[in-house]
Structure 1
Amino acid sequence: MSLDATCDTLVVLTNLPDEAAARVLATLLVEQRLAACVNVLAPCRSVYHWQGAVEEASEIPLLIKTTTARYAALEAAIRTNHPYELPEIVAVPLVAGLPAYLSWVAAETTPSDTPSC
């Protein structure tokens, strides 16, 4: 399965401190057409090093579906609207997927003034 480079699909991961913050960010990303879909997952426990100490926190993971063309704007929006000083923002490229779904992701993340892929 191959798509034009401007339509390659990514899954971006980030974690928020609570469900309210996760829902606000998810809605913002979809409304701004930076993501076609955001899954707000169940809480998880995260264990990590931060400022010289081992920390543990309950967090809400987000799975964000977007395209490589929208990634820079998505990252900027997450950084601007995320409550953490250093948010996790990790993009994972997809190597395959249902073509109709990947086309939908591309269409939903295309700004209204730009032709779709």
Structure 2
Amino acid sequence: MLVTVLTVLTTTDSAAKAEELARGAVEARLAACAQVSAPVTSVYHWQNAIETSEEWQVLLKTTEACYDALEAHLRAHHDYDTPEIIAVPVVRGSAAYLEWVASETSAPEPM
């Protein structure tokens, strides 16, 4: 089975929100799994100023077929005006793991 697996990254401003985003995506089968990383310090431009804030990273494992639905889900459940949502293709990985990601996710049927 040849499926493109992605790691999708987003951040939010609390552990509880990060866990909620992770759990919601996995429950919806838009991601096979998600990891919430300890706080990171983010430095960025926002509204003509340089900001620094503490954020939690969420790494979600999904397939290319599920990406659009996962992005829509994250946008709908995220409280940032412009949330970071970045997808990076998995170039190589354990065949068994990549097959597991594919088997645990399901893209919504097109309308």
Question: Is 1:79 aligned to residue 50 of structure 2?
Answer: no
CA pair 112-72 structure 1, distance change in 2 beyond 3 A = closer
Following superposition, the deviation at residue 110 of structure 1 comes to 2.3
| Partner residue in 1 for 2:105 | 109
Identify the match of residue 11 of structure 2 among 12, 15, 19: 15
Distance in 1 (CA, whole Å) between partners of 2:107 and 2:54 is 34
SS at match of 2:84: coil
Task: Provide the residue aligned with 2:24 in structure 1.
Answer: 28
- CA separation in 1, counterparts of 2:12 and 2:4? 26
Secondary structure at the aligned position of 1:46 is classed as strand
SS where residue 29 of structure 2 aligns?
Answer: coil
The structure whose residues are more often strand, as a share, is 2
TM-score normalised according to structure 1 size:
0.89
Deviations 1:75-104 (A, max 9, x none): 000000001000000000011100000000
Q: TM-score, normalised by structure 2?
A: 0.94
Amino acid at match of 1:25: L
Unaligned runs of 5+ in 2: none
Q: Name 2:45's counterpart in structure 1.
A: 49
4+ residue stretches of structure 1 with deviation over 2 A?
110-113
CA distance in 2, matches of 1:67, 1:17: 26
- Percent identity between the two aligned chains: 51
Q: Structure 2 vs 1, CA of residues 83 and 112 (structure 1 numbering), >3 Å: closer, same or farther? A: closer
Number of residue pairs aligned between Structure 1 and Structure 2? 109
d(CA) in 1 for partners of 2:36 and 2:90?
Answer: 19
Give the root-mean-square deviation of aligned CA atoms.
1.5
Match of 2:34 in 1: 38
